[in-house]
Amino acid sequence: MFRKYSIIFLMMIFIFTVSSIVAGSEEKIVLRVSWWGSESRHRNTIEAIKLYEELNQNVKIIPEYSGFEGYRNKLFAQIMAGNAPDIFTTVMEWYPDLLAADGMVDITGMVDVSGHNPKYVEACSYDGKMYGVNLSVNSMVMIQNLTLLKELGIEPLPVDEPYSWDELTAKFNEVYEKSGGKVYGAADPTVNREGMGFDELKYYGYTKLAVEKPFPFDNEKFTVTKDEIQDFLEFFDNLRKTGALAPVELSLMNDFSANNLLIQRLVVYEWNWAGTFGRYQDQTR
């Protein structure tokens, strides 16, 4: 039912360890492993854990998993309280805060990454020290409900060629008009509680504003200007005014689970990570 269109972007999801396991050791080891994700990710990860425990019977792994909402706050609370999981997933944007909270350990040389893409290894590192191992590569995509588009008599966005922000705006407006104002183009990403709007700002800068500098920040400072932020916010404000985007009060309810507007068929499109595609496919018609 859904198709996705990738925007050129790589977001690393890493797995960190603060314990070392010596191959062949008979020492009894208990590890807590924490991650976020959909039910399918939970099931697959638990199956992988079971297989690992079968092959390493001296190791007991305690899984701790949840949705993405609230994951970061819980993780940092655990770190500050001194009871963080031994292994956990994170993203590179959290590195500075994790290091400041003494929440990561240098594992340089402890894991064989010779078969990994060097750029991924570099992305798992900070100031020359490796703190994690790349678990997967994710990409921001545009997910669209093909069934709902067909019901509304609307052609979907192309999946094999690029489209402009103006074309995207026209498509969102068409959804609102042909649904009689009952369905919006998408939720407003600028009010997303998990900071999705900041991700959209990156793509907006490179594609709509055609910036060539590192954007909206480099390794040391923010590079975005006041005028660029104003352009971004005004663009999405105009989308709200025409019904292309759901109103702020409705968009604030949007999350990655039961309250998701795409799942509830209140919007046709959603900016999200490719890793969420299977979850939406399972929960929609």
Question: 280, 143 in Cβ contact below 8 A?
Answer: yes
Largest CA distance in the chain: 67
Q: What is the pLDDT along the chain (285 residues), one digit of tens a residue?
A: 433 332 222 333 333 333 344 445 578 999 999 998 878 889 999 999 999 999 999 999 999 999 887 899 999 999 999 999 999 999 888 888 999 999 999 999 999 999 999 999 998 998 899 999 988 888 888 999 999 999 999 999 998 899 999 999 999 999 999 999 999 999 999 987 666 677 889 989 999 999 999 999 886 789 999 999 999 999 999 999 999 999 999 999 887 777 789 989 999 999 888 877 777 776 665
Give residue 284's pLDDT. Answer: 66
Q: What's 157's DSSP letter?
A: P
Stretch(es) of the chain classified as CATH 3.40.190.10:
2-138, 142-283
Q: What's 156's DSSP letter?
A: P
Q: How many Å apart are CA 22 and CA 24, to the nearest integer?
A: 6
pTM of the full structure: 0.73
Give residue 6's pLDDT. Answer: 29
Give residue 8's pLDDT. Answer: 27
Burial class (CB in 10 A: 0-12, 13-18, 19+), 135: middle
Q: How many Å apart are CA 126 and CA 230, to the nearest integer?
A: 32
Give residue 11's pLDDT. Answer: 33
Question: 191, 253 in Cβ contact below 8 A?
Answer: no
User: Where does 179-242 have alpha helices with state H?
Assistant: 196-203, 226-242
Give residue 16's pLDDT. Answer: 37
Instruction: Out of 3.40.50.280, 3.40.190.10, 1.10.3720.10, 3.40.50.10210, select the CATH number for domain 2-138.
Output: 3.40.190.10
Domain covering 142-283 in this structure, CATH number: 3.40.190.10
Give residue 281's pLDDT. Answer: 73
